[in-house]
Each structure stands twice: as structure tokens, then as C-alpha cells.
Structure 1
Amino acid sequence: MFKFDCRQVTGVIETLHVSSTEQGTVTAYMVIDGQVLPKVLLPGKIYEELDKGQRVTLYGIFTKKKDKMENKAVIYAMKGENGTLVAAREYQVKVPILILVSAIPVMILTFIIGCFASPYFIYLVTGSENPDYLVPTTFVWAFWEGIISGLVMVGFAINFIRKSNDPEGWAPIGIAELSQRFSKAFK
């Protein structure tokens, strides 16, 4: 579902080509230390700070899906040669809100699936086939399954807020290892 990690990568920018722009963000193709990073989403203020030949540390959220064609990078912050950290703090609010908004359909879907799956588990646990017991118990179980799935999503949002407060604490990754996550078709 959500396979990504928050990492930092350091290197010298050799190439920076914009492939598209959209509402204050830039999608770019970057070459850092000879390694290609395609489909990199950069907030406008971070893009304006980047220059060819500059040594930077990029703090990003990198997907790691099996299908390398779908992988993307979202740069959250950068530190240039002057040592100043430039961060897109708007993601610190937008991403958790998106996670919380997506929690609502996840809770509803979990409840619906729970209504169909829970009777089998209730029967296995209790052995009861009585509809007067099975039907209300099924709805109670499905309700709590939905609540638990919503709480998991809230946990994801809180985890993102916690991690985005300290991007310098993110684990480093080599540029060659990061480049391997993307398809050869983009290189």
C-alpha cells in the first residue's frame, strides 16, 4: 500500500531538467554524482535554491514499489553548500491531512468487509449459529475493526509529523542505491 521511506542523499547536481510544473511544484529529472533520479517532485522554493555544480543534501520521501516505473521522489527539504536548511513545511500539514482524509474511506471499507468476514470468525470462536447473537455481534466487530483501521491511519499521520520535524535525523542513502529504485526507461 504505502511503501516509502524518508531518507537523505548527498551529492553534486550535474543536471537538472524540468519535465512539468504544477501549482508551485516542479517535476524534474536530476543527475547527481552521475546517477539519475527521474520523477523528482520539488517544491518551488527548493527548486529555486538548486543550481548545477552545487553540492547538496536532499531530504526526501522515496517510494519503493516492485514496479520501478511507479517509483517517485518527493523532496521535503535541502541543505546547500552554505549549510542553511530549506524545508517545504507546507507538506508537514498537507500530508497528514491527506492521510486523515483517506482514513474515512478506509474505515468504511473495513467496516463493510468486516460485515461479511466477521460472522465466520465469530462462528469459529463461539460456535454459535443463532442469528439473534450472530448479527449484532457481527456489526459490533465490524465497527471496532473500522475504528482500529482509522486509528492506524492516525498513527501514520502522527508518525509523518514526528519525522518531518527532524529531517536531519533521517537515515542516509547512497545516490547509486537510490537510483536503482527507478526504471531504466527513465535513464
Structure 2
Amino acid sequence: MTEEMIIAGFGGQGVLSMGKILAYSGIMEDKEVTWFPSYGPEMRGGTANVTVIVSDTRISSPILQEFDTAIILNQQSMDKFEKAVKPGGTLLYDPNGVINPPTRTDINIYKVEATKTAVEMGNPKVFNMIVFGSYLKVRPILSLDNVEKGLEKSLPERYHKLIPLNLEAIKKGQEIVADVQLV
């Protein structure tokens, strides 16, 4: 099993954190992983993306041109990365940041109302964990136990008290993901 993915959005949306948690969770499952962030000098508010590879075998390069999965959180990223999803691949997106939804019919598309759900949960900061939960629902490459270990490893100890809230957000994301059928 090899999962090659991109997570892309604005700085401040937790894009890099989501990728880091995914990578640490993969390590907890004894997988080979790469975590390759890319962001502009403006960070918060500018565009950011991270390429993550999780594999049962050695990874030759962290640099990818095509992806099995894309998690898209803003329109600029949709414009740039929708076409880079491999045919038969998966694209998840939050409609709050995307004006023109994806149009491809040769990939699996899932809508995640993460912004709305985070507000309903009373904590907009769990937005990225809701998206992460939706991803794990449609691409169950990691166990929830190892995701919890990945959270513990990637979050500074002073934030460990937030792990239960993050796990709740992941579970909520698994509940709300919606399949989008394009004809």
C-alpha cells in the first residue's frame, strides 16, 4: 500500500499540522513516510500545501506530480491541484473555501462541511481534524489508535489536553463526509 497525497489551503487552516499528524500516525503503524511542506513567506493567510506519502515499502522521493488523494481547502488550491489527482483517485474539499467545486468525473469526490461543523462544535480550530476524520473515513489507511499516538507525538505536551477534542473532531469528520456524484 502506498498513499501519495497533497493537502492544500491557506496558511492558518492547519494544512501543515494535518500532514504532520498523518505522517506521525503512519510512523506509529511502522509505515515509511515523507512529509514535504511548501508555503509562501506570508504563512498565515498565504497558500500552503504539504505532500505526504505513507507506504509499506521504501519511498524513493518525496516530490510528486500526481496524487492518489488531494485534500483541498481553498479555490487557489483547487485550481492548481484538481488536475493532479490520478484517475480513480480521491479529492476531498470544504465548500466554504471553494467557489468552483471540482468537475472531474474520473475521480472520487467528497464534500466535507468542516468549517460549518467546527463552528457548530464551538471551536473553529478543530477544522483540520474534521477534514482529517473525513479523509480517514474514505481512505482508512491508518487506525484511530495510531492517529491518537500521532497526535501525542506531533503536538507539544502543553496541548495534550486538547487530544480528546481533536479525536472528537476526527470522529465527527467521519460522520459528515458526503460523496459527490458528478455525471
Same fold (TM over 0.5): no
TM-score of the pair, normalised by structure 1: 0.26
Rg larger for: 1
Higher fraction of helix:
1
TM-score of the pair, normalised by structure 2: 0.27
